[in-house]
Amino acid sequence: MAPTPGGGNDGLWSDPPRGPLDAYRARASFSPRELQLFWEGEDTLRFKKAVFSALEKDPLFAGSRGADLSLEKYRELSFLRCKRVFEYGFFSLDNLDQSLLRLPALTYCLGMYDWSVGTKFALHLMVFGSALYSLGSERHLKYVEKVLNMEIFGCFALTELSHGSNTQAIRTTAHYDPTTEEFIIHSPDFEAAKFWVGNMGKTATHGVVFAQLYTPDGRCHGLHSFVVQIRDPKTLLPMPGVMVGDMGRKLGQNGLDSGFAMFHKVRIPRQDLLNRAGDVTPQGTYTATFKDARQRTRVSLGSLSSGRIFITGVCVVNLQQAVCIAIRFSATRRQFGPAGEEEIPVLEYQMQQWRLLPYLAAAYVLDHFSKSLLLDLARLYGGLLRGDQAAPQAELSREIHALAAAAKPLVSWTAQQGIQECREACGGHGYLAVNRLGDLRNDNDPNCTYEGDNSILLKEASKYLLNFLEPEEQDGVRFQSPLQTVSFLEAYPVVLGQRFQGTSVADWLDPTAPLAAYTWLVCYLLQSSHQKVSQERRSGRSDFEVKNSSQVYHLRTLALAFMERTVVQRFHTHVRSPSVPPSLRAVLGRLSTLYALWSLSQHTALLYRGGYLAGEQAGQALEAAILDLCAQLKDDAVALVDVIAPPDFVLNSPIGRADGELSKNLWGAVLQESGVLERASWWQEFSVHRPVVGSLKSKL
Amino acid sequence: MAPTPGGGNDGLWSDPPRGPLDAYRARASFSPRELQLFWEGEDTLRFKKAVFSALEKDPLFAGSRGADLSLEKYRELSFLRCKRVFEYGFFSLDNLDQSLLRLPALTYCLGMYDWSVGTKFALHLMVFGSALYSLGSERHLKYVEKVLNMEIFGCFALTELSHGSNTQAIRTTAHYDPTTEEFIIHSPDFEAAKFWVGNMGKTATHGVVFAQLYTPDGRCHGLHSFVVQIRDPKTLLPMPGVMVGDMGRKLGQNGLDSGFAMFHKVRIPRQDLLNRAGDVTPQGTYTATFKDARQRTRVSLGSLSSGRIFITGVCVVNLQQAVCIAIRFSATRRQFGPAGEEEIPVLEYQMQQWRLLPYLAAAYVLDHFSKSLLLDLARLYGGLLRGDQAAPQAELSREIHALAAAAKPLVSWTAQQGIQECREACGGHGYLAVNRLGDLRNDNDPNCTYEGDNSILLKEASKYLLNFLEPEEQDGVRFQSPLQTVSFLEAYPVVLGQRFQGTSVADWLDPTAPLAAYTWLVCYLLQSSHQKVSQERRSGRSDFEVKNSSQVYHLRTLALAFMERTVVQRFHTHVRSPSVPPSLRAVLGRLSTLYALWSLSQHTALLYRGGYLAGEQAGQALEAAILDLCAQLKDDAVALVDVIAPPDFVLNSPIGRADGELSKNLWGAVLQESGVLERASWWQEFSVHRPVVGSLKSKL
């Protein structure tokens, strides 16, 4: 069977450049092209190639990606690049099903280039644009059109200076005035200023602004969203009553203008209330779409789930790029070796394999998971579009909410830790800005915070799981959900009696072993969390106290372990599906088992404590299995990163280039920096204005 | 007993500003002044206060610390600030004993202000200066004088583009030419260019340069160090034959000019060989101070130990500052709360306590440890100065080498993870550059890499421990060392039979409990590492392979656990010494036990696996004890950071100011950024040069 796919893919691939990476490439156990085709599909491959080629050919994208620019200049450049993406017309919204997957793909391509561009684009089109669509109604379609034409530029303004996580405490108000049929948007003080709003700093003309809705009778109807004009599109000057500004430098994504705004009695038309959850009549009567206020809020904040799922993909591409750089570096960087022989690539060291290869596995496993969540989301949106409001649709929404709330923490933390490990694994060269690991880390970092702080989000997932054990639901069907992520819990009393039966490395290399261990672990954590919560309740504590005192070591761990198990389960099933070419099964299976065991090994203490493991051998064998898989995968590692690596132009890392000419690329890049060999312009400060040691001592 | 120390400390303290932090300060169980006096000593307190006051009053230190400056400007400013430190004459080398402790204290003060200044200063004076002193001889004192007067400016050039960790493979050569009595320093190619040399980029006039020494007979005598002039102090232009340049932007410390250099047959006088390890006669005969080549190398690289110990202190002050910011933020940031009541500070949440308070404990425990290592080093230097070359001195040197090699990884990783946790614990506001957590993280990051990559350094410590079990040493006395850090291993066969006897939280809160567990753990790891290594050897593997395949899960874990135990042991002893005021014992004891248990809890899997723990209760109680200590410490947390926090001017973080006016400080800082409310200069790019969507589609 020919490992390289045949005709019909012309122009899709070029051979990797010859060089120091040849040796590893030759040792790969599979065809990278075949894997790439299977992994992405030809359609997506072509699309990504088109996007990358356009960027590479366009001089606007040739220059700096920020670090050496002033904030003003970097923001201008990011805006111009974002505008250029519209000019290329990479996407069309004619086919909504297609665009639901293609828009993220485009954004990930832009983000691989530079997240300042990617986030700017996503906030305008996918966050602002889709909020108009999902929170509003037909009367707001006029805005959607302007979004697509870039006649207006949007932002999403929920967070305030003093409130982020506790959205219910948002203090911006929207009082309805029936005499003019307007809402009056107002910030009571600077602590209620909208804060951390991407695109708001310099560019947004309009925002979806969240505020507490008051009717003329003085009643507050809770948080609602409004389209508020912030700047005049003709002049980009603020609208009357709006004080809007730029928050200044951040740890990363500095091409993105994060901003703040205070509203001083800004009047907007009644129709600019986004009215999916509730509306106000011209006379000032509130009409709720849902009776339950909590359900209204859920609709208002519902678009956050899609944002969280999108972010998991953002983190995946960040991790992938970091792993590409670190693996190629490790395959070409030589240091030490057997006595009297040539130095060996650092990838040959067990330590380096153990530091990097689990993250390579994560880069594959989490990529699949993130894409699968996007398909779940498409199913949910399909139901919404059909106007499906039946119970299963609500259940699906709850399940996806829980999955998204736990997926973002797991994936963003994995990426954060993985990128840091890659940076350190590249030694000093990883610390040089030109090699890009710093930008990847800094641009990835906010994913741990925005669209819901990771630690707080995890509560949503554990709440979802514990709810299945609530007494009132015990009569009905238990542990059933549309996506069946909780089905395994049905048998939890039985599962808790299970024990790991193996003793050897081979027993752990059986791909069902980590899955079985995870199943036991989640059941164990569910039970102990339930016991903890019940015990706290029995001691007379308030709901608030019960939750507060059950997070650490209980609910938090439960949510993460549940999510890890879901990820492991999905990839396990995926690599065994008939669609997988037989020649790829071995390598994908190894990635699957390595990720599963490595991830599981964080929980070994609980496996022992709860009795699932016993004796020294079980734990030793688990560790040996991880090292064994690392050794098995190290010769495939370069080919595996070739599959997920963007072109060199996009990856933009001298030590990570596909030609593997580590030293030459690095030396060349360093010499190309501006003024690198020039004497400092302030040289006289050393040689002319000489210091007199202690001359200022009297000033002390 | 008056908690506030009485007379004699006038002017040393001022009351903390009144404000939102009052409530926590009032609840503290101890007097911060008393703790500060005990912790630092009056002398150091006065010294630090003098340094901080001078910086605060001096306009040169008032401006930006970098993020918004060009590389050129930031480097100029850092150089000027470094020069100004000499003008203040904060230190004198008249009293060498005092200066050994005072110089680090001064550098840590500068580093708290900005590590670009601190590192620049340290590289010139402490690294370059002390290398001249410790690697050279009397004939090099002329350089030391010029260092102190800043007539020359120094750097330390060991690493090359292609070699860092494997110093033996350094490829710069120094051929001796007897006809002119000169060494010819030469870089064979760009891969042998000196690389990553701090101060070399723009400012250094001289370097301690490491090269392979060749005598005229063609013999190579291994790595030696030379004083090489790089630039003309009058013009700051490179010397003939030297190509020297700046490496460009890094992930942090961008005021420091890291550089590279290639030498093209650069001739230097014979006397500029730093000749402590060996010398060359005018005729070209090599004379070794030590017969053993390995011992010569050890002397050449010996100064790295002091560098590593210095770095542990660097990491400690970084962690301390991050913890100060995050704790003050957490004590004033309110979010959610019991139903119907005012929102509560996030520090009241168990999750936030668990995320931050162990790092607060680490900030104290590791500070003490770092200082104690410095005292060990002073003892070693004392012996060197007395010309002591007896066996105990060599043993002390080996022990300190091992301690330094494991301390740097432990402390730099703890700081790296702690700062990241602080950044995330401050949510979005932690991501805003002005709040400084990004700079702390980025400036701290290279500590994981320079002066020896953490992962590689750990091998030195495990090798030290395993050597005690080598057969040839079994006849003599085992597990004895000058600092007695390994004495507990003497009883390791007995220790391995011990078991944790407790079941309750109280059993873990007994401060001897974590220490006993650590003692067992290190014995267990020593035994299993020894078994692993022996087993690998028996299977016929080479030394190289044996080491390579025993790092992960064995030698690496052994080195870290040994170091953690040493840290825990020293603090445990310290807080029980008679010098501790009775009123401080409770709080210091809690910090001690929290750090010990939290650190130990990373190893729970091994404790179970090896049988030290059994049953669910032991592990549950360990977790409960950690949470219990967090709850006990949360009311002391603000006072504890008051003790270690530098003045607001130095800490330089709106959300971390001592007045606790979180929102006001943040709002004020954001509004003070330049052009914050101004329209973007490129506004016409939106409103005039409008994009035509899809207009470039044909170019795809």
Examine the pLDDT at A7 and tell me if it is beyond 50.
no
Tell me, yes or no, if B625 comes closer than 8 A to chain A by beta carbon.
no
Whether residue B198 is contained in a domain is answered as: yes
| A410 and A359 housed in the same domain | yes
Q: Is A189 on the interface with B (CB under 8 A)?
A: no
pLDDT tens-digit map of A275-327: 988 999 999 999 988 777 666 666 665 667 889 999 999 999 999 999 999 99
Q: Is the pLDDT of residue A576 over 70?
A: yes
In tens, the pLDDT along B660-680 reads 999 999 999 999 988 999 999
Could you tell me how many helices (H) and strands (E) chain B has, helices first?
27, 12
Q: Are residues A289 and A178 in the same domain?
A: yes
Question: Does any domain span residue B649?
Answer: no
> Mean pLDDT score of chain A, rounded to an integer?
93
Q: How many other C-beta atoms can be found within 10 angstroms of the C-beta atom of residue B53?
A: 14
**Are the Cβ atoms of B455 and A666 closer than 8 angstroms?**
no
Judge if A71 and A172 occupy the same domain: no
Distance from the B137 Cα atom to the nearest Cα atom in chain A, whole angstroms? 25
What mean pLDDT is reported for chain B?
93
Tell me chain A's radius of gyration from C-alpha atoms: 27
Q: What percent of chain A has pLDDT over 70?
A: 95
Q: Residue A589: how many CB atoms within 10 A of its CB?
A: 18
pLDDT in tens, B244-285: 999 999 999 999 999 999 999 999 999 999 998 899 999 999
In a domain, A429, yes or no: yes
DSSP at A647: P
Residue B302 banded pLDDT, cuts 50, 70, 90: low
Residue B159 annotated as part of some ligand binding site: yes
- CB distance from A71 to chain B under 8 Å? yes
Q: Which of A334-338, A558-562, B194-198 shows the lowest per-residue confidence on average (mean pLDDT)?
A: A334-338
Please indicate, yes or no, if residue B594 is contained in any of the structural domains.
yes
Task: Mark yes or no for CB contact B87/A696 under 8 Å.
Answer: yes
* B442 contacts on A by Cβ (under 8 Å): 438
Predicted confidence (pLDDT) per residue in B471-517, tens digit: 655 555 489 999 999 999 999 989 999 999 999 999 999 999 999 99
In the sheet where A242-246 sits, what is the strand order? A194-198, A258-263, A242-246
Reduced DSSP (H G I as helix, E B as strand, rest coil) percent helix, strand, coil of chain B, to 5: 60, 10, 30
- With respect to residue B657, please indicate whether it lies within any of the assigned structural domains: no
Amino acid at residue number A92: S
* Chain B residue numbers touching A249 (CB-CB < 8 A): 67-68, 432-434, 673
| Angstrom distance (rounded) from CA A609 to CA B51 | 52
User: B292 is written with which tokens?
Assistant: 């053993």
The Cα–Cα gap between A465 and B227 comes to: 67
Predicted pLDDT at A1: 34
User: Which position has the token pair 């906010």?
Assistant: A446
**Do B324 and B340 share a domain, yes or no?**
yes
Q: Tell me which chain B residues have a C-beta less than 8 angstroms from the C-beta of A337.
A: 544
Contact B246 A675 (CB under 8 A): yes
Residues A524 and A628 in one domain: yes
Closest CB from B89, B544, B610 relative to A694? B89
The single-letter code of the amino acid at A388 is: D
Per the domain annotation, does A7 fall within a domain?
A: no
Q: Is A692 on the interface with B (CB under 8 A)?
A: yes
Question: Mutating which of B608, B612, B652, B674 best tests the A interface, going by the most A Cβ atoms within 10 A?
Answer: B608
* Same domain flag for B163 and B127: no
User: Over the stretch A391-429, which tens digit does the pLDDT of each residue have?
Assistant: 788 889 899 999 999 999 999 999 999 999 999 999 999
Contacts of B670 in chain A (CB under 8 A): 245, 247-248, 260
Burial A519-541 (b: 16+ CB within 10 A, else e): bbbbbbbbbbbbebbeebeeeeb
The average pLDDT across B83-98 equals 82
Catalytic residue among A451, A460, A564, A661: A451
Contact call for B696 and A50, based on CB within 8 A: no
A-B CB pairs within 8 A amount to: 392
A80: chain B residues, CB-CB within 8 Å: 682, 685
Beta strand A173-177 with A206-214 is parallel
B191 is known as an active-site residue: no
Is any Cβ of chain A less than 8 angstroms from the Cβ of B149? yes
The alpha carbon of residue B109 is apart from the nearest alpha carbon of chain A, in Å, by 15
A89 and A139 within one domain:
yes
Of A436, A673, A667, residue with least CA distance to B260 = A667
CB spacing of B693 vs A86 below 8 angstroms = yes
First-to-last CA distance in chain A? 81
pLDDT tier at B96 (50, 70, 90 boundaries)?
low
Task: Give the strands of the sheet with B258-263, arranged side by side.
Answer: B194-198, B258-263, B242-246
B49 touches chain A (CB under 8 A): no
Say which of A551, A627, A666 has its CB closest to residue B161. Answer: A666
Q: What confidence score (pLDDT) does residue B487 get?
A: 96
Q: Which amino acid does the sequence have at A523?
A: C
**Residues of B numbered 205-224 whose beta carbons fall under 8 angstroms of chain A's beta carbons: which are they?**
205
Write the Ramachandran bin of A150: left for phi over 0, alpha for psi from -120 to 50, otherwise beta. Answer: left
The amino acid at B135: L
Q: Which residues of B touch A663 (CB under 8 A)?
A: 161-162, 190-191
My answer on whether B430 and B503 are in the same domain is: no
For A63-102, the three-class secondary structure string (H helix, E strand, C coil) is: CCCCCCCCHHHHHHHHHHHHHHHHHHCCCCCCCHHHHHHH
Element of type H or E holding A439: helix A437-444
Residues B497 and B633 grouped into a single domain: yes
Q: Are B87 and A692 within 8 A, CB to CB?
A: yes
- Enumerate residues 6+ apart whose C-beta is below 8 A from B422: B322, B323, B325, B326, B356, B359, B430, B437
Same domain? A441 vs A522 = no
pLDDT tens, position by position, A48-61:
999 999 999 999 99
Residues B123 and B170 in one domain: no
Does the CB of B196 have a partner CB in chain A at under 8 Å?
A: yes
In a domain, B21, yes or no: no
Domain-terminating residue out of B100, B123, B148: B148
Instruction: Give how far A341 is from chain B: nearest CA, Å.
Output: 11
Binding residues of A, by number, are 159, 198
| Tokens (6 digits) for A128 | 């602002």
Residues of A in contact with B459 (CB under 8 A): none
Write down the catalytic residue from B451, B460, B564, B661.
B451
Q: Judged by CB atoms within 8 Å, which residues 550-569 of B form the interface with A?
A: 551-553, 556
Nearest-Cα residue of chain B relative to residue A624: B553
CB neighbours of A467 closer than 8 A, spacing ≥ 6? A473
Q: How far is B161 from chain A (nearest CA, A)?
A: 7
Of A277, A293, A309, which one is at a domain's C-terminal end? A293
B135 falls within a domain: yes
A97-112 confidence digits (pLDDT tens): 677 778 999 999 999 9
- B12 Cα to chain A: minimum distance (Å): 14
Cβ separation of B553 and A450 shorter than 8 Å?
A: no
Shortest CA distance from A162: residue in chain B? B663
Instruction: Indicate which of B351, B441, B606 best probes the interface with A, i.e. most A CBs within 10 Å of its own CB.
Output: B351
pLDDT band for position B4 (cuts 50, 70, 90): very low
CATH number of the domain that A305 lies in? 1.20.140.10
CB neighbours of residue A677 within 10 Å? 11
The distance from CA B284 to its chain's CA centroid, rounded to whole angstroms, is: 41
Which residues have CB under 8 Å from B427's CB, separation 6+? A164, A165, A449, A453, B333
Q: Domain span at residue B508?
A: 492-644
DSSP string, B360-398: HHHHHHHHHHHHHHHHHHHHHHHHHHTT--SHHHHHHHH
In angstroms and rounded to an integer, the radius of gyration of the C-alpha atoms of chain B is 27
Closest CA to A528 of A608, A597, A466: A466
Determine contact, residues A135/A164, Cβ cutoff 8 Å: no
Q: Report the distance separating Cα A691 and Cα B145, nearest Å.
A: 14
Residue B303 is predicted with a pLDDT of: 65
Q: Do B434 and A249 make contact, defined as CB atoms within 8 angstroms?
A: yes
Instruction: Say yes or no for a CB contact (<8 Å) between B424 and A448.
Output: yes
Position B3 confidence tier, pLDDT thresholds 50, 70, 90? very low
Nearest-neighbour CA in chain A from B375: distance (Å): 28
Q: Would an 8 Å CB–CB cutoff place A193 in contact with chain B?
A: yes
In the predicted model, is pLDDT for residue A31 greater than 60?
yes
Identify whether residues A520 and A635 lie together within a single domain. Answer: yes
- pLDDT for B9 equals 61
Report yes or no: A131 and A274 within 8 Å, Cβ to Cβ: yes
Give the nearest partner residue to A605 out of B53, B448, B619, using CB atoms. Answer: B619
pLDDT digits (tens, 9 = 90+) for A431-449: 999 999 999 999 999 999 9
Q: Does B189 touch chain A (CB under 8 A)?
A: no
Residue where one domain finishes, among candidates A466, A484, A509 = A466
Q: Are B570 and B576 in contact (CB under 8 A)?
A: no
Tell me the CATH number at B166: 2.40.110.10
Domain count, chain B: 4
Q: Does B188 touch chain A (CB under 8 A)?
A: no
Look up residue B685 and give its two tokens.
């790019």
Q: Does A506 touch chain B (CB under 8 A)?
A: no
